[in-house]
Structures are given as C-alpha cells and as structure tokens.
Amino acid sequence: MALLEVAAVAIGFGVLVAGLRAHELGRTAPDAPLGLLAYELGFRTDGGNWQGLVGGRPAHLYRTVEGRVALRLDAPVLGWHLEARPATEPTGDEAFDEHFSVDWDETPPQLLPASVRDTLRRARGEAYLVTEQGFIELVWAKDPDADGVQRGAAALAAVVDALTERSGEPLAADPAEPGPLRARAALAHGSSHALPPLLASGAVPNTLLDQALETLIDADAQRAVALILAQERSARWQWAARASVDRHHPGLAAAWRDWWPRAERADHHAVATVVAPLLLRWPMEGDVGVMADCVASGELSRTLRRSVLDAIDERATADHAEHLREAATHADASVAERLRAAATRGLRASGVTDGRLSMVDPASNAGGISLADDAGGGLSEA
C-alpha cells in the first residue's frame, strides 16, 4: 500500500510540474485536470502541454492564456481560413453559412464540399471551433470531461478525414452543391463551361460577376445569353447584354433576335447598343426589324446609327415595310425619314408602287383600282 501511495504522489507531482511549464501553443497553470484529460487521450507531456495522435495525426492538448482547455489537430491539408460567425460572402449552404464565414482569399472552394461542411458543423457542436491554415482546434468554455474530449477529438479527425477523402471531381460540376460555391469553384479553375447555367440561375455572386463574364469563352457566352433570355422577366437580362459586348458569335445575334418580340420597348432601348453591332455582323432572317427598333431608340452613336441605316437600306424588302414605318413613328426626324424611305424602296423593289389610288374608267375596266405614281394619297374617279 505504501508503494502505491508513493507512486500516486509521484504521478501527481509530474502532472503539477508539467502544468507549471510554458509552451508555444499557450500558457498553462498548475493543472492536474488537464493531465488527466491527456491521459484519457494517451498523450504525453513535452513540458507544459500534452502531445499525441488523433486519427494518426499530431495533436496538442493545452490551456489557452485565458485558461480554457484547447485541443488542436495539425494537418497540412487544412489550407483554409474560416471564422466562426455568419458568412459575409456565403457558400449558398444556409446551414453552414449561418455559423461560418469563409476568407476566400485564403480558402480554395474545392476544400468545402458537402462532406467537409457537414463535419465542420458537427465539430462546432462540440465546442468553439478555430480553423486556420494547417490546423483545426476546439476550445471549451468550461473544462470538458473525458467523454467530451474524446468526442471533440473524433470530430476534429472527421473533418481532416473528409478533406483527405473528398472526391477529385470538380466541385463546380456537381449539381448537388450550392450555386455560389460552384461558381467560385468554376472561377478558381477558370472553367468557362460550368458558368452558363450558374449565371442564368443567378448563382454567381455580384462581386464575381465581372470575373465570370470575362472567363466565358464565346461559345459559352452564347449558351449563357440564350439561357438568360429564355426567362420571362429577368433582372439578369442586363447580364446577358454584358456577356454579349465585343463578342462575335452568330448564336448571340440569334438569341437576341428571338428575344426581341417578347421584350418591351424600354428593354430594347437598354440593349440596343449591344444588339445592333451583332446583327450588323451576322445578317439573318428577322434582323431588319430589330435593327430598325435599335436605330429608332436614339441610343446608338452617330457612327453606329449610320452603319445600321445603311444595312437596313441593303436588306429591307416589302415584308419589312410595315415594321420600318412603325419604328419611324418612334424615331427622330432624320432617322424616321431614312426608315420610311427604306420601306418605300422595299415595296417598289417588289413591284408595289406607293402613291395615290384612283378609279379607272368603268367603261374599260368596271370597278378597277389603279395605283398612281404620285404621293397624293386621295381617291378619284376617272
């Protein structure tokens, strides 16, 4: 019995000495309880703090300068920076964003698939969670019991395991992941192909919109524009206009032409400077009416207006006359004159003469109507 008492005193003294020493992870106080928790984890002291393995990875148990128990797990795979507060630039996973704010300058989006986010939420349920480059840590507000420390260790190990075992598939291509996170992943990898549906759905954060539009190659810009313009009334139509600027793809011109009849005049005015150059470059069926609306809007520069009117002169036929005359009613005087003249030329080219109606001699052609060459416009009886 005496020998057992001596051994117990020795163990207690060792714990006390360890507690009196300092360590770079934090300053400890004389602390037998910390030593007992370390014993439960199988940790050894290096002089003031306790070290061991959790899930096969180096870990440390210590008291912070505030006197709180902390368990830290080291892992190079933890290349991120998260803060335990509501997100300012969310991932789109509301349950995660409620508790974590991601520093995207230091955190690759690919590190935060659903499996990792889930383990982070569970770890947060154990104690205050600290996530930094190269380590993850739990800090308890009150001294945990042995079971609490064991659960915390398991939770930290689960986070690192999820990171290590995550799929190698691009996160941007996974439809199960939230849109804003997918958009960030696509931009991080310069993936143009993944962006069109994300732009159309509004998943791209406004802060990343310029980068997303610049990342699009022409073929994907056409897909994005077509998807956005297919929506009935959308605040994102201006996104489509921005995606079309200075691009040369016939699919863009066709998408705007198809959208045109569904939009209001105010919408036409907002995009006229984008659509007109596309239709100048890519002649197609239905282009004359759209160009007429663009030039009648008054939004085009003088040079662009002249080019559009010249193109209308070349392409207009009798089939366009009605639309050209309607557009002229909304244009300033000089443009209106050109549009009406184009309508008249189109009619004449098809064999229709625009002018006065007169009644011919009923004796030679009873009831016949002829079209005079002048523009009087009145009806007269021969």
Query: pLDDT 10s per residue in the chain (382 long)?
Result: 443 343 333 434 343 333 333 334 444 444 678 888 888 889 998 766 899 999 889 999 999 999 999 999 999 888 999 998 999 999 999 999 999 999 999 999 999 999 999 999 999 999 999 999 999 999 999 999 989 999 999 999 999 999 999 877 889 999 999 999 999 999 999 999 999 999 999 999 999 999 999 999 999 999 999 999 998 777 889 999 999 998 988 999 999 999 999 999 999 999 999 999 999 999 999 999 999 999 999 999 999 999 999 999 999 999 999 999 999 999 999 999 999 999 999 888 777 665 544 344 444 444 444 444 444 444 444 4
The reply to whether 87 and 56 lie within a common domain is yes
Residue 221 belongs to some domain of the structure: no
Q: Are 204 and 240 in contact (CB under 8 A)?
A: no
Residue 297 belongs to some domain of the structure: yes
Task: Indicate the burial class of 234 (C-beta count within 10 angstroms; 0-12, 13-18, 19 or more).
Answer: middle
Q: Report pLDDT for 353.
A: 60
The separation between CA 203 and the C-alpha centre of its own chain, rounded to angstroms, equals 4
Please give the Cα distance from 293 to 263 (Å, whole number).
12
The reply to whether 23 and 137 lie within a common domain is yes
The reply to whether 83 and 104 lie within a common domain is yes
Residue 174 belongs to some domain of the structure: no
Residue 217 belongs to some domain of the structure: no
Q: Are 84 and 74 in contact (CB under 8 A)?
A: no
The reply to whether 26 and 159 lie within a common domain is yes
The reply to whether 321 and 278 lie within a common domain is yes
Please give the Cα distance from 300 to 290 (Å, whole number).
13
Q: Report pLDDT for 24.
A: 42
The reply to whether 272 and 379 lie within a common domain is no
The reply to whether 49 and 143 lie within a common domain is yes
Domain boundary among the residues 116, 141, 166 is at 166
The reply to whether 154 and 12 lie within a common domain is yes
The reply to whether 158 and 296 lie within a common domain is no
Residue 40 belongs to some domain of the structure: yes
The reply to whether 71 and 92 lie within a common domain is yes
Residue 134 belongs to some domain of the structure: yes
Q: Report pLDDT for 236.
A: 86
Q: Report pLDDT for 27.
A: 44
Domain boundary among the residues 110, 134, 166 is at 166
The reply to whether 15 and 122 lie within a common domain is yes
Q: Report pLDDT for 264.
A: 92
Phi, psi of 23 (to 5 degrees): -145, 155
Domain boundary among the residues 147, 166, 185 is at 166
Residue 374 belongs to some domain of the structure: yes
Q: Report pLDDT for 310.
A: 97
Q: Which domain holds residue 369?
A: 355-382
The reply to whether 321 and 368 lie within a common domain is no
For the chain, how many structural domains are there in total? 3
Q: Are 193 and 161 in contact (CB under 8 A)?
A: no
Task: Indicate the burial class of 6 (C-beta count within 10 angstroms; 0-12, 13-18, 19 or more).
Answer: exposed
**Taking the model in full, what pTM does it have?**
0.76
CATH number of the domain bearing residue 136: 3.30.1460
- Taking only the tens place, the pLDDT of each residue in 251-267 is 999 999 999 999 999 99
Q: Report pLDDT for 46.
A: 72
Residue 86 belongs to some domain of the structure: yes
Average model confidence (pLDDT) across the chain: 85
